[in-house]
A = this chain, B = another copy of it.
Amino acid sequence: MVTLAEVARHAGVSASTVSYVLSGKRTISARTRERVERSIRELGYHPNAGARALASSRSNIIALMMPLRTDMYLPVMMEIAIAVATTAREHAHDVLLLTGQEGPEATRRVVGSGLADAMILMDVELEDERLPLVRETRRPAVLIGLPADTGELTCVDLDFAETGRQCVSHLAGLGHREIAMVGEAAAVYERRTGFAERTILGVRERAAELGVRVLHRPCEGSYESMAGTLSRIFDERPGTTAIIVQNEAVIGPMLSLLRQQGRAVPEDISVVAVCPEQVATQQSVALTSVAIPAFEMGQRAVELVMDRLRPDAVLAPAGTHTELLPPTLTVRASTGPAAGVPVSHAPANGAR
């Protein structure tokens, strides 16, 4: 392996000069810089990561911790992970992948050993057991998701309450007065992951404002349970004319079931989904949906981490910072005027 010293010798300068060329922390004459850069290229030099970390106490690695819960929708997790890795590289950092297996201790190990400079936590629960440890490490950390107590923490998430509101506004604007919400699996609510609850809160709030009735039913990820949920919904509220779905896994089954029951989308039933764009567009009917901006979430998380990692930011107190990404409702083919409601010329899209 080529070392800094060899590059220095080859270029006829001292080791520190090479180091400063690399880091740009001191001014170097253009002539010298070029000579050094040429040597680096010619020798195929790669700075040794370990030595660098040891000398600078910065590893240029951020840890991404994702608990693996079977009830979570993997593609979204995956997209966030990819966004994190990609964005981190743009900031000359790498990403260490931690799963939940190891338990919250992983936090301590990774940060305590200086392996990672900062952490990004995915799938945060309201009372997340990792949080005390994260606070204790006193290293930059960004959560994807919102815990109950955001004190001294930095969080990024989609604004799910607003998501819920927009869904209801849109449907109400089309004349729907009785809507059902097919939520996440019961386990998600029990675990108190927050996002599911915030959505239904937003839904209820706006529904109350606009005088719309809402029936909320959680639903597991299988065809079976979707079938059960759907029939229960129409049993209890035969007048239901619109459905909001937040469990991506059952969107396909739901459309399939509605078709079987002879309920046309959107003529008989309007459907709004909260899901990634790709899912919304690949169904039998292109779905009106609020996108889950997975990539953007990962990206923002990294950017926030980088902010806190800048040398001059060290002195600033961590402070609380919560960033809720604004949802965007895209109207597609799955929503239309409520059955029996004359088409008006008022704007149908009630999103705010």
Residues of A within 8 A of B (CB): 1, 44, 46-54, 57, 59, 61, 64, 68, 70, 74-75, 77-79, 81-82, 85-86, 89, 94-99, 101-102, 108-110, 112-115, 221-224, 227, 249, 252-253, 255-256, 259-260, 278, 281-284
Contacts and interface: CB of A to CB of B under 8 A. Distances in A.
- How many copies of this chain sit in the oligomeric assembly? 2
B113 A48 contact: yes
A101 B74 contact: no
A82 B59 contact: no
A50 B89 contact: no
A288 B75 CA distance: 24
A284 B259 CA distance: 14
A92 to B, nearest CB: 11
A53 B89 CA distance: 21
Closest 7 pairs (CB-CB, A-B): A50-B53, A46-B112, A252-B252, A256-B256, A50-B54, A49-B115, A222-B282
Given A1-B112, A99-B82, A53 B49 contact: yes
Contacts of A51: 50, 54
A84 to B, nearest CB: 8
B78 A74 contact: yes
B49 A114 contact: yes
Contacts of A227: 284
Contact of A282 (B59, B101, B221): B221
Contact of A97 (B64, B74, B222): B64
A97 B114 contact: no
| A49, A98, A102, most chain B CB atoms within 10 A | A49
A95 B66 CA distance: 13
